[in-house]
Amino acid sequence: MGENRFGGCVAQRGQLSTFRARRWGRGFPKSAQAAYGHLLQRWGIHLDRESGQSLEPQAFFDEGLAGYAVEIGCGGGEHVVAQALLFPERGFIACEIHTRGVLRLLRSIEACRLHNVRVYAGDGLGLVSRFVPASIDGLFTLFPDPWPKRRHYGRRLFQPDTVGVLAGALRAGACWRFATDCSSYAAWAHACLRDSSMRLVSEGMGVPPRVDWPVTRYQCKAQRAGREVVFSIWQR
């Protein structure tokens, strides 16, 4: 109710998104739920979904930082935590729909005492679509679900319209890092990026093209299974 299909994404009450947030599953203890609520209140991004007001990423942080980057689909947050430790002068916004991953990230933020990470427990596309144009300095989409079956292609994050929305939030010269272990999805995503006037500046097979690109558990899992990982960096 109140939803419609838009280029493979769902428009919910005027907010663009790809998926609904996942809540508690079986075996999720009350103590973990309490920790989730407490930590998300401290480090989370809380939006008025009824408001159509544009957002500035710096508004989510207590202090001014030297640029802001967003990771969509951060999983348990190992990549964004590594980035935040490498670049404490920058702000990072991590988006994830799965509750267990969000809780793992929140606990890592506390354990590492990170002041420069904020968490959005929801669909990153919906958040970034509300940012003012050219307001972020980096974007990470690492191993998004490739939805390999043809009938599911409309569920992919990379669509001409959604890539256009995300690219529009990047400042001129800002970079978008992408990784996948599905070669057909790499070709699909790269075509969408080119059509959105993004320029390929670096590409690697099996090894990230930059030393400041942390290795993740999913990357290791894919490579152990014999799947070739495609890394690419695109510039606005």
| Residues involved in catalysis | 145
116 vs 82: CA distance, rounded Å:
12
Find where tokens 């400041």 sit: 212
Q: In what order do the strands lie in the sheet with 199-205?
A: 117-120, 91-95, 68-72, 136-142, 170-180, 230-235, 199-205
Q: Which residue has the tokens 């050219």?
A: 134
Q: Helix, strand, coil: what percent of the chain each, to 5?
A: 35, 25, 40
SS (H, E, C) 97-114: CCHHHHHHHHHHHHHHCC
Tokens 């202090």 — which residue?
A: 63
Q: What DSSP designation does 131 have?
A: B
CB 193 within 8 A of CB 176: yes
CA distance 122 to 73: 9
